[in-house]
Homo-oligomer: A and B are copies of this chain.
Amino acid sequence: MRVLIADDHDLLRDTLVMFLEAQGDIIVRQAANLGEAHKLIDAEEVFDLVLLDLNMPGMNGLEGLRATLAMNGGQRVALLSGEATREIAENALEAGAAGFVPKTLPAKSMINAVKFMAMGEQYAPIDFMTALDESPEHPLAEKLSPRELQVLKGLTEAKSNKEIARDLDITEPTVKLHMKTLYRKVGAANRTQAALIAREAGLF
């Protein structure tokens, strides 16, 4: 089994190489950037698996992955990354990657994943892929006052101003003003749009 590891972090690369070669039946080649990796792919016989670090020189996002996939030999290429988002992982897999390996994976699991992919399967960590794509922050929630958030919550529950007022124990006109203010803050023209924006932002 022939594997190529391309990563500009020497430490991680060496560790991975050591672990893989300890498996006995795996031949590992190394590269520190995309150019070196391509040279090795051109010069040697086809690899069972090529591991590319997302952040190493020459990668340019997923472009390097696509370029490597398009190279002769039809080798299987997987993406290796420390801080990639789930979205990037999905894009990589859609682009035809053999898998996605986060650097947070335990060494043992990483070895298993590499062997798994080299055997022709597609790999990605389950928990990573099924995690909800939670927006990093809710910039909206930050800009709204507590009362406005409560009013907005009532709005997303399709309550009338009167109901919201009763629930919050304030008068209806007050609710209206909060509405008006929060429309301005979230950029909505009316309550329907405000509700859709709130839902879109993942609030409540």
Contact = CB atoms under 8 A, between A and B. Distances in A.
Interface string A171-200: 000000000000000001111110110010
A112 B120 contact: yes
A158 B183 CA distance: 12
A93 interface: yes
Copies assembled? 2
Question: Chain A binding site: helix, strand, loop or mixed by DSSP?
Answer: helix
Interface residues of A, number: 32
Nearest to A122: B126
Given A156-B196, A158-B190, 16 more contacts: A90-B130, A99-B126, A108-B120, A112-B120, A112-B121, A113-B121, A116-B116, A116-B121, A122-B125, A122-B127, A123-B126, A129-B129, A155-B192, A158-B196, A192-B195, A195-B196
